[in-house]
């Protein structure tokens, strides 16, 4: 890889970045196989696997029955025997049918059987609401998996991160859940050419700032970045920390940022109670207590099953306006003058 | 915005001085470049740039003392726009990035924030009602009502108050419910007349290992100056020496003294230095004593301990501090894991540590972590003295000069070299008999020093 190739940047979509990562890894390693509902002939509900069946054949691109527990279990078995399966679960909501396989098998086999075999598998699955898919198809259940030792959970917010993280997930020997997001699939961004592999457990400061730390991941990290640019015009310098990796969690980067700003707001797509934000707030008070000039604030989804009606769905989900309001409240509470 | 602040380089540091600038105004600097040398209470340390850019403005000149967090320089893009307004910041103990803003404009007469907090709290109080909009609980929603007397201040404010010696009872809080926020402290610090250096926290007890409580040196009586007194400003090192010794004075101690027959000790030392002269090995009596102390501590874990408030902390490692006199103070560099090092290794290490201590070039980690200290004034011909304990260590050994003395051996008067050893002991950690057993075994080791060489 030359420096020139490294610098070459293509603007592609998050969807395309995931597709490229899959295709490159399929090409690089014949042990990489794909399993999922309608990923072959139909080319995937979100077209991430477009063209894969034609290029790699039905041996490596397997359309499965509508039976998550079965095909996740099959992937675990294949992984134990040396394959590197990448499973697409159509939405994270459907992973509930396979949760015993994920939590009690994929996450535990390596440890419980004395390290005899790793389980190098990836579960790709989108979460999130906002598409009028109603309560059962719009959830953010990533914290359920981020809670489980033995799993790794990645949550990219940009096309470049999506590609680097999926590549890292496929090459890692542990089971990895890669959280995608319906509203990010069509977002575009520069993706460097060449072989880029993300590091697990590493958060990123995507916007440097001095006044408030805003922590997000996946869709919320993208919103935070947008808000940071909007509020810069009003004289507020926001530092955005994109968690990137929900497990392992990069506590150091979070705390270091808060030590600089003295204020922190978490924007999370999940529900407030027992959510990602609770863990971040606890991390900050443990690691940066003496630097806090205000309590950590959280902006999260309304504590209701997500309504189907567009108007209700909109106000139930956290958005840029809610984030800006809370940031302003926190700035006022600390007598921030602009 | 991209100001460089006086960093906290040691646990006990409250202010620092610029020893010298290694970059000049207008220089391009990269992240990681050493900008300046900072003289802290303990040593001279490098200050690295955290951001790349152009060193636009130096706000604090060499020799000037400023508080932790004060702006000392501005790194910008070279346009100079970042330096605006910062030119006079040197004297003002600016604490954090938005000082200028916070100090001058914090009270622009906006709506009292308390009212706003109350509104949000009202919105969120009922726990039984599901929140139907995106949830953003106000920070006070789950907090029980505060009692009237407690001072409300943010953790950041409390740590600033500690480092600046501010009594929060004198500060008017303008945050929610009267909470003192950073902006209030910055306003106060911007106004030197409102600062009350005399209001440093009162001594709240003798120091412990887990929660060292800074006690101002002025807690003990200070002299008032006469007209013809020469006023010698105290260096950082002198100041911290004074403060640490004042803290140590709060520790209840007792002393035990014994006399050591140093015949074999001096013989062994002479033998080693004569026979190994070719290999360049040269050891001192003090090196042998440090080694013997380490061996004795390994056998007496109860002495290798600290007072931890509600527990005695027994340390896994035997780290022996060696007091080194400086021109204007005292430092105690530490020989780590001395029980696992040979006499010659200990000797070489002490030599190196002492030389760098005198040059002010010790690293912080080389001065911390001691579990016991040795102070030796034998070279000044002092027969016997008591050393002041080095908190939170449990004991310190004072070593006097080795002197030829008449002594009765087997009913005959003989001349023997003798050394007086005095152990100062923290009575909260150790009792007389325990400390005496340690001193007895230490003396036995030094009487038969071959035992510490194997």
Closest CA to A221 of A169, A191, A265: A265
Q: Looking at the predicted structure, is the pLDDT value of residue B105 above 50? A: no
Q: What percent of chain A has pLDDT over 90?
A: 93
Give the per-residue SS3 of chain B.
Answer: CCEEECCCCCCCCCEEEEEEECCCCCCEECCCCEEEEEECCCCEEEEECCCCEEEEEECCCCCCEEECCCEEEEEECCCCHHHCCCCCCCCCCCCCCCHHHHHHHCCCCCCCHHHHHHHHHHHHCCCCCCCCCCECCCCCCCCCCCCCCCCCECHHHHHHHHHHCCCHHHCCCCCHHHCECHHHHHHHHHCHHHCCHHHCCCCCCCCCCCCCCCCCHHHCCCCCCCCCCCCCCCCHHHHHHHHHHHHHCCCCEEEEEEEEECHHHHHHHHHHHHHCHHHCCCCCHHHHHHHHHHHHHHHCCCCCEEECCCCEEECCCCCEEECEEECCEEECCEECCHHHCCHHHHHHHHHHHHHHHHCCCCCHHHCCCCCEEEEECHHHCCCCCCCCCCCCECEEEEEEEEEEEEEEECCEEEEEEEEEEEEEEECCCCCHHHHHHHHHHHHHHHHCCHHHHC
Between positions 156 and 215 of A, the ones with CB within 8 A of B are 210-211
Please tell me the predicted confidence (pLDDT) of residue B307: 86
pLDDT at B219: 67
Cβ distance of B120 and A329 shorter than 8 Å: yes
Indicate if the pLDDT at residue B128 is higher than 80: no
- Asked if ipTM goes beyond 0.90, one says no
Check residue B167 and give its pLDDT: 85
Is A300 in contact with B184 (Cβ distance < 8 A)?
no
A303 touches chain B (CB under 8 A): yes
Predicted confidence (pLDDT) per residue in A224-273, tens digit: 999 999 999 999 999 999 999 999 999 999 999 999 999 999 999 999 99
- The whole-number pLDDT of residue B122 equals 37
CB contact under 8 A, A336 and B133: no
Is residue B403 over pLDDT 70?
yes
Confidence of residue A92 (pLDDT cuts 50, 70, 90): very high
- Are A209 and A240 in contact, with CB atoms under 8 Å apart? yes
Q: Cβ of B116 and A303 within 8 Å?
A: no
Q: Does B218 touch chain A (CB under 8 A)?
A: no
How far is B60 from chain A, CA to nearest CA, in Å? 21
Interface check B138 vs A, CB under 8 A:
yes
Whether residue B76 lies within 8 A of chain A, CB to CB, comes out as no
Q: How much of chain B exceeds pLDDT 70, in percent? A: 77
Q: For residue B181, list chain A residues with Cβ-Cβ distance below 8 A.
A: 293-294, 333-335
B114 vs chain A: nearest CA distance in angstroms?
Answer: 8
**What tens digit of pLDDT does each residue of B53-94 get?**
889 889 888 888 888 778 889 888 877 654 444 333 333 333
Which residues in chain A are contacts of B133 at CB distance < 8 A? 302, 315-316
* Residue in this structure with the two tokens 């346009």, named with its chain if needed: B79
- Report the pLDDT averaged over residues A68-86: 98
pLDDT band at B1 (very low <50, low <70, confident <90, very high): very low
Closest-CA distance, B70 to chain A, in angstroms, reads 14
The pLDDT of B19-40, averaged and rounded, is: 87
Least reliable range by pLDDT among A32-41, A91-100, B275-284, B388-397: B275-284
Which residues from chain B sit within 8 angstroms of residue A298, using beta carbons? Answer: 135-137
pLDDT band at B368, cuts 50/70/90? confident
pLDDT of residue A9: 62
Gap between the Cα atoms of A230 and A89, Å rounded: 35
**Banded model confidence at residue B424, pLDDT cuts 50, 70, 90:** very high
Q: Chain B: residue nearest A272 by CA?
A: B135
Which chain A residue has its CA at the smallest distance from B119's CA?
A329
CB contact under 8 A, B130 and A304: yes
Name which residue leads in pLDDT, A159 or B364: A159
CB interface of B with A, residues 188-207, below 8 Å: none
pLDDT at residue B189, rounded to an integer:
77
CA-based nearest residue in chain A for residue B184: A335
Average pLDDT over every residue of A141-167: 98
Q: How far is B4 from chain A (nearest CA, A)?
A: 12
Asked if B159 and A291 come within 8 Å (Cβ–Cβ), the reply is yes
Q: In sequence order, which residues have a C-beta less than 8 Å from that of residue B157 and are 6 or more positions away?
A: A293, B168, B180, B181, B182, B184, B185
**pLDDT cut 90: percent of chain B above it:** 32
Query: What pLDDT is attached to residue B121?
Result: 38
Predicted local confidence at residue B215, as pLDDT: 57
The SS3 call for residue A303 is: coil
In the set B164, B315, B317, B427, the catalytic residue is: B427
Determine the pLDDT at residue A269. 93
Interchain contact, B135 vs A315, CB within 8 Å:
no
Average of per-residue pLDDT across B245-265 = 90
User: B429 CB near a chain A CB, below 8 Å?
Assistant: no
Q: Which of B98, B107, B154 sits opposite A294 (nearest CB)?
A: B154
Tell me: pLDDT of B132 over 90. Answer: no
Q: Which of A17-26, A191-200, B133-142, B265-274 has the weakest average pLDDT?
A: B133-142
What pLDDT digit, counting tens, does each position of B305-354 carry?
Answer: 998 888 899 999 999 999 988 877 788 999 999 999 999 999 999 999 99
Instruction: Please name each of the domains of chain B with its CATH number.
Output: 3-94 (2.40.50.100), 107-123+148-199 (4.10.320.10), 242-453 (3.30.559.10)
Picking from A334, A336, A338 by the largest number of B CB atoms within 10 A of its own CB, the best residue to mutate is A334
Q: Does A57 lie at the interface with B, CB-CB under 8 angstroms?
A: no
- Rounded mean pLDDT of B416-436? 95
> Within an 8 Å CB–CB cutoff, is residue A316 touching chain B?
yes
Which residues between 253 and 272 in chain A have a beta carbon less than 8 angstroms from any beta carbon of chain B? 260, 262, 271-272
Q: Place B362 in a pLDDT band, splitting at 50, 70 and 90.
A: confident
Mean pLDDT to the nearest integer, A165-171: 98
Residue B11 — very low, low, confident or very high, per pLDDT cuts 50/70/90? low
Highest-confidence segment of A206-220, B58-72, B121-135, B384-398 = A206-220
* A317 at B interface, C-beta within 8 A: yes
Which pLDDT value is given to residue A313? 96
Mean pLDDT score, A118-128: 97
CB contact, 8 Å: A274 with chain B? Answer: no
Q: Could you confirm whether A105 is annotated as catalytic?
A: no
Confidence of residue B216 (pLDDT cuts 50, 70, 90): low
pLDDT in tens, A281-313: 999 999 999 999 999 999 999 999 999 999 999
Distance from the Cα of A120 to chain B's closest Cα (Å) equals 37
Residue A21 or B40, more confident: A21
Chains A, B: CB contacts within 8 A come to: 119
Any catalytic annotation for residue B427? yes
Which of A28-42, A59-73, B237-251 is least confident?
A: B237-251
pLDDT higher than 90, residue B236: no
- Domains (ranges, CATH) in chain A? 9-192 (3.40.50.970), 204-333 (3.40.50.920)
| Run of H or E including A229 | helix A218-232
Look at residue B218 in the predicted model and tell me its pLDDT. Answer: 65
Q: Does B1 touch chain A (CB under 8 A)?
A: yes
- Among candidates A271, A298, A337 on the partner chain, residue whose Cβ is nearest the Cβ of B102: A337
Per-residue pLDDT reduced to its tens digit, B176-203: 888 999 988 888 877 543 333 333 333 3
């Amino acid at each position: 890889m030359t420096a020139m190739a490294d610098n070459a940047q293509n603007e592609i979509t998050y969807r395309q970045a995931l597709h490229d990562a899959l295709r490159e890894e399929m090409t690089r390693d014949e042990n990489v196989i794909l399993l999922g509902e309608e990923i072959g002939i139909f080319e995937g509900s979100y077209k991430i696997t477009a063209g894969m069946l034609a290029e790699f054949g039905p041996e490596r691109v397997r359309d499965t029955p509508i039976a998550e527990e079965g095909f996740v279990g099959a992937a675990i078995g294949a992984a134990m025997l040396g394959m590197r399966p990448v499973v697409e679960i159509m939405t994270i909501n459907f992973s509930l049918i396979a949760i015993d396989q994920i939590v009690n098998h994929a996450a535990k086999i390596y440890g419980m059987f004395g390290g005899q075999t790793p389980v190098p598998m990836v579960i790709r699955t989108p979460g999130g609401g906002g598409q009028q898919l109603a309560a059962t198809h719009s959830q953010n259940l990533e914290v359920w998996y981020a809670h489980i030792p033995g799993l790794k959970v990645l949550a990219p917010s940009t096309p470049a991160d999506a590609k680097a993280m999926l590549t890292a997930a496929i090459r890692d020997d542990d089971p990895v859940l890669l959280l995608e997001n319906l509203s990010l699939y069509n977002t575009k961004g520069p993706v460097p050419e060449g072989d880029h592999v993300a590091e697990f457990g590493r958060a990123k400061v995507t916007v440097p700032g001095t006044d408030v730390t805003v922590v997000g991941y996946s869709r919320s990290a993208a919103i935070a970045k947008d808000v940071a640019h909007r509020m810069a015009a009003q004289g507020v310098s926001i530092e955005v920390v994109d968690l990137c990796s929900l497990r392992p969690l990069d506590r150091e980067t979070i705390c270091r940022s808060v030590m600089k700003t003295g204020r922190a707001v978490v924007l999370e797509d999940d529900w407030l109670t027992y959510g990602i934000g609770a863990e971040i707030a606890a991390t900050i008070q443990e690691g940066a207590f003496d630097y806090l000039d205000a309590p950590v604030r959280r902006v999260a989804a309304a504590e209701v099953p997500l309504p189907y009606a567009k108007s209700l769905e909109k106000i139930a989900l956290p958005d840029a306006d809610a984030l800006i309001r809370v940031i302003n409240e926190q700035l006022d509470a600390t007598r921030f003058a602009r | 915005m991209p100001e460089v602040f006086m960093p906290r380089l040691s646990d006990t540091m409250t202010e620092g001085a610029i020893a010298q600038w290694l970059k000049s105004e207008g220089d391009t600097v990269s992240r990681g470049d050493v900008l300046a040398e900072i003289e802290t209470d303990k040593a001279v340390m490098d200050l690295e740039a955290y951001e790349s850019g152009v060193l636009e403005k130096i706000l604090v000149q060499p020799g000037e003392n400023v508080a932790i967090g004060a702006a000392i320089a501005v790194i910008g893009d070279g346009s100079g726009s970042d330096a605006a307004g910062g030119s006079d910041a040197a004297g003002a103990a600016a604490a954090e990035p938005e000082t200028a803003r916070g100090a001058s404009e914090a009270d622009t007469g906006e709506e009292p924030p308390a009212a706003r907090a109350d509104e949000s709290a009202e919105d969120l109080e009922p726990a039984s009602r599901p929140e139907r909009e995106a949830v953003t609980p106000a920070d006070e929603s789950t907090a029980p009502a505060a009692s009237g007397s407690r001072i409300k201040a943010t953790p950041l404010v409390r740590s600033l108050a500690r480092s600046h010696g501010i009594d929060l009872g004198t500060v008017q809080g303008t945050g929610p419910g009267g909470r003192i926020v950073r902006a209030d402290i910055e306003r106060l610090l911007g106004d030197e007349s409102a600062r009350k250096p005399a209001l440093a926290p009162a001594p709240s007890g003798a120091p412990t290992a887990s929660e060292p409580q800074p006690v101002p040196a002025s807690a003990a009586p200070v002299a008032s100056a006469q007209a013809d007194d020469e006023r010698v400003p105290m260096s950082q090192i002198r100041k911290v020496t004074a403060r640490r010794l004042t803290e140590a004075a709060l520790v209840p101690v007792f002393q035990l003294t014994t006399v050591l027959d140093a015949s074999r000790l001096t013989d062994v030392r002479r033998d080693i230095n004569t026979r190994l002269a070719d290999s360049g090995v040269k050891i001192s009596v003090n090196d042998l004593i440090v080694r013997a102390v380490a061996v004795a501590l390994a056998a007496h874990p109860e002495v290798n301990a600290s007072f931890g408030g509600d527990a005695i902390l027994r340390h896994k490692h035997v780290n022996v501090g060696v007091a080194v006199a400086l021109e204007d103070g005292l430092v105690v560099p530490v020989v780590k894991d001395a029980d696992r090092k040979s006499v010659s290794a200990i000797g070489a290490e002490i030599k190196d540590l002492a030389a760098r201590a005198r040059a002010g070039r010790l690293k912080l980690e080389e001065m911390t972590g001691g579990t016991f200290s040795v102070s030796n004034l034998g070279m000044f011909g002092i027969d016997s003295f008591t050393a002041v304990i080095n908190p939170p260590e449990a004991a310190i050994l004072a070593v006097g000069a080795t002197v030829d003395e008449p002594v009765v051996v087997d009913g005959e008067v003989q001349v023997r070299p003798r050394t007086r050893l005095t152990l100062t002991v923290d009575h909260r950690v150790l009792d007389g008999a325990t400390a005496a057993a340690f001193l007895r075994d230490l003396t036995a080791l030094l009487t038969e020093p071959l035992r510490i060489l194997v």
